[in-house]
Structure 1
Amino acid sequence: MAGEVDRAEERLERQRRHWDATYVAHPVMYGDGPSDPAIYAAEAFRSAAAHDVVELGAGHGRDALFFAREGFTVRALDFSSTALQQLSAAAQASAVGERVITAVHDVRAPLPLPDMSADAVFAHMLLCMALSTDQICAAVGEVHRVLRPGGVFVYTVRHTGDAHYGAGTSHGDDIYEHGGFAVHFFTRDLVTALADGWTLAEVHSFSEGELPRQLWRVTQVATP
């Protein structure tokens, strides 16, 4: 068991270094425009009377900057300091720096927020990184802890219908590494399990990118 934990820790550290190097080599690698899930999420958050958004895995900030331009206060968390430096510089250049707070954070650790202190949480493909099922469940538990009752959580994940599922190097637990990036591909049962104790509002299928990647966009609401 200790050996498995050590290998998982090593794999995640390799992923952190890989992402840092990727952001250095390809600044603004996902472009300046917001993702489609972020556009959807902004409307969902506004409908829930949200004022602040916590983004997990914010990367270089295309969605965090979009939320800020839409009037939300954004706390952007990511384990890549390189990405967050790019995000902070872009926020200042876009005159929304006062609405964007960045912090280096590993999603395996508790969120640096008090209980019931956030209106909304957004995570675009963060949960399907090289995380074990137990770590994903713990992370979603943390999201529920920091959301106020009625707060909205929108997340997206690649799933087992994706063309890369089963390709590349297997790390077990439905995690496959392809092109240097390790992905935990979600089953529908895992989505259902993560909604336990929440109100599951929607599971929406969509595709993104050149492969294209096959994803689910999940919307769930925190219950008391």
Structure 2
Amino acid sequence: MTEGGPELASEQRRHWQETYSVHPGMYGDEPSAAARYAAEAFRAAGAARVLELGAGHGRDALHFAREGFAVHATDFSRTALDQLSATARAQGLGDRIATTVHDVREPLPLADGSADAVFAHMVLCMALSTQEIRSLVNEVRRVLRPGGVFVYTVRHTGDVHYGAGTAHGDDIYEHGGFAVHFFPRHLVDALAAGWRLADVHAFEEGGLPRRLWRITQTVPD
């Protein structure tokens, strides 16, 4: 466990809820570059049903829906998901997006093998311990069908904020109120054990910029 443990998790949940309340649509309307890539990867794999973890107010979930996928969007912020649902209805996409309030520390709310693809943009690198991350990836594997695709992004130890701010142990540092678990490469490789690791792509996002990896792995057929 991290030094912050459940208290850090609860504090981060409050922080994100307040952030979405004060800054609705804080990430804008345009999908992330990672989501654009994921939509193409999912289509190439013949996916129809996409689970998004940590969907927030929905810029990427809405993109997946516009691309023709049936989307199940989860987040631990009810405020964010309410914003997502309202936007989906306004854009005529309400029938393509389902939402569930969910904390990724808990088992995923899907049956075994019921998803074709899973997307998680900067969710695995939140204030999760390494063991919680491993458990989450195991859950992703459980809900994916054979041949299913998992695309996720994480900030890594080459990021400018790695080692800055308040240290919580387990490569977690809090800066500006947000706690981040920065990934070393060996953790990416460990999480891909038993999968097919297709790609680890380095990219930058935002004004700092944030330095991330975009990982694509698939469940063997």
| Range class of TM-score, shorter chain | over 0.9
Residue 39 of structure 1: aligned partner = 36
Q: Secondary structure at the match of 2:168?
A: strand
Residue 84 of structure 1: aligned partner = 81
Residue 7 of structure 1: how far off its partner (Å): 3.7
The structure 2 residue matched to 1:13, chosen from 4, 10, 13, is: 10
Provide TM-score, normalisation by structure 2.
0.98
- Determine whether 1:103 maps to 2:86: no
Residue 198 of structure 1: aligned partner = 195
The structure 1 residue matched to 2:27, chosen from 30, 34, 43, is: 30
Alignment check: 8 A CA contact 2:112 2:142 kept: yes
- Determine whether 1:49 maps to 2:52: no
Taking only aligned residues, the RMSD between alpha carbons, in angstroms, comes to 1.0
Residues of 1 paired with 2:5 and 2:97: CA distance?
32
Provide TM-score, normalisation by structure 1.
0.97
Q: Which runs of 4+ in 1 moved over 3 A?
A: 4-7
- Determine whether 1:145 maps to 2:135: no
Residues of 2 paired with 1:78 and 1:8: CA distance?
20
Residue 223 of structure 1: how far off its partner (Å): 2.0
| Structure 1, unaligned runs of 5 or more | none
**Could you tell me which amino acid in structure 1 is paired with residue 41 of structure 2?**
A
- Determine whether 1:217 maps to 2:214: yes
Residue 151 of structure 1: how far off its partner (Å): 0.3
Deviations 1:122-146 (A, max 9, x none): 0000000000000000000000000
Residue 75 of structure 1: aligned partner = 72
Residue 6 of structure 1: how far off its partner (Å): 8.7
| Structure 2, unaligned runs of 5 or more | none
- Mapping of 1:175-194 within 5 angstroms? 175-194=172-191
Query: How many matched pairs?
Result: 221
